[in-house]
A and B are shown apart, each in its own frame.
Chain A
Amino acid sequence: MNPFTRTLEGIGSTVLLLVKALSHLPSMPRQFGRFVDQCYLIGYTTLPIVAILSFFIGSVLALQAGYAAESLGPKQFIGLLVGLTMARELGPVMVAVLLAGRVGSAIAAELASMKVYQEIDALVTMNIPPERILVLPRLLAVLVMMPVLTIIADLVGWFGGAIVAKYTDFIAIEPASYFATMRQYMDFGDVLNGLIKAECFGFVVVLVCCNIGLNTRGGPREIGASVTKAVVTSLISILVLDYFVTKALS
């Protein structure tokens, strides 16, 4: 099979998985416990690293904008630049990338191992669809957690930028004026734009990783291969999707 047909097949099976998972939506009230577990897992594994990374990304943005301002003049735009870039682009993308690395890989590994050790077969013979208990709770959990993680990433990033802007000698703008330009030229629409992106990315990452895990064939060696494939496919999906969602939202 060439890469093109393989890609098409991958997309097809992912869509099919989504349809099957959504057909079990009425079972969700009974699965509230599983949903809460997954929310906790997603938040717990990604929150610390999201906080650390977004702090440094915000700082670096402010620093680079400071260099640009040195030759170009007005330093006030630094707040706006950090604010917009974090909210509209880097916040959602960074959270999604971290989600792929920490949560997506774990999902792929868990489901691939269940497949390889015939646990999925056992579920099917028990007439318990794996899409219902393994996929659907994760999809709903990521929809709830992505906005939370992204808002935290935005806030921490803005804050990191503000600190750098105040304490770097050649920038030295007060947080009050840093945030004032943000307030003046940004609105909630910019943040919302980023949240919608984050929802799309997170949903696709979890769906792709579930699909690759469940389609693992062979033995223990293939579990590792599936994890790699899941993370790489997630990253590609995030970046490709980023372009199209940005275009659609503009």
Chain B
Amino acid sequence: MATGTTNPFSAATIPAVGVQIEGLSKSFGNLEVLRDVSFNVEPGEIFVLMGPSGSGKSVLLKHIVGLELPSAGRVLVDGLDASSEDTREQVRMAMVFQAGALFNSLSVYDNLALYLREHRVANEAGIRDKVMRALQILSLDNAAQKFPSELSGGMRKRVAISRALVMEPQLMLYDEPTSELDPVMGATIAEIIATLKEEYHVTSIVVSHDRDLTLAIGERVGILMGGKLLFLGTAAELRSPKDPKIADFLSPKIDLKNPRFKQLET
């Protein structure tokens, strides 16, 4: 198995990194959001995290990039504590935020260029190449000079993804990358995630409700419900889940004779 290979946009060699989540619990005041969650993501793996909204998926991702501190347990990225600032110096991580988190005062071009400029990755001409390339991949070439406020929801999502791509990360975190996209663009994103893995050995953690995407590219899948990890297994195992709660989550039956909102009333 290759442990190092070239990254998407330059010839530098980057080693793949793994993530370990050990007994992670998180509370906000009295609200317990994560309860004793443990799993590993292997270097170069595509791990899909599913679960109903409000189950703590976004909070879990924020722990991996060190934006939230665990109430108990710990998160390791490449063996380093994710809550330490040094980890961000050592490991190049990129996160596609659920709401995009684009810099509203910067144009799309400058949104992508900021990282490259601040870290002096290349000169202005080199930055231009990288940025335009990343924009092209997501069919955003015409939006380079637009500002985030002028974009549709799906375009913002794509800008967020291309902004993460130009960072040439070793570890990519996607928070619902396809939720606002049309099916073709959704397939493009799935292809990008798979290509980054195959050719460049990028580790990806994808939060998604998209069953097709999960079965097409996911290697292992975790399902969070009520802050607990209810399922952890391969994508193949997900096709025939044993737990009825998980089966219902993955393929809910639309029952017009006995609708769910009426079951709540009794």
A residues contacting B by CB (< 8 A) are 110, 113-114, 117-119, 121-122, 124-128, 133
Contacts and interface: CB of A to CB of B under 8 A. Distances in A.
B118 A122 contact: no
B67 A124 contact: yes
A119 B156 CA distance: 13
Given A127-B88, A127-B119, A121 B114 contact: no
B118 A133 contact: yes
DSSP majority for the B interface? loop
Residue in B67, B94, B118, B167 with the greatest tally of chain A CB atoms within 10 Å:
B118
Contacts of A110: 105
Contact of A126 (B66, B102, B105, B114): B114
A126 B115 contact: yes
A122 B97 contact: yes
Contacts, number: 47
B202 interface: no
B114 A125 contact: no
B147 interface: no
Interface in B227-266: none
A125 B88 CA distance: 7
Contacts of B65: 124-125
Given A125-B65, A128-B115, A119 B167 contact: no
A189 to B, nearest CB: 43
Contacts of B105: 110
Given A125-B67, A126-B115, A117 B99 contact: yes
Contacts of A114: 103-104
A112 B94 CA distance: 23
Interface string B195-213: 0000000000000000000
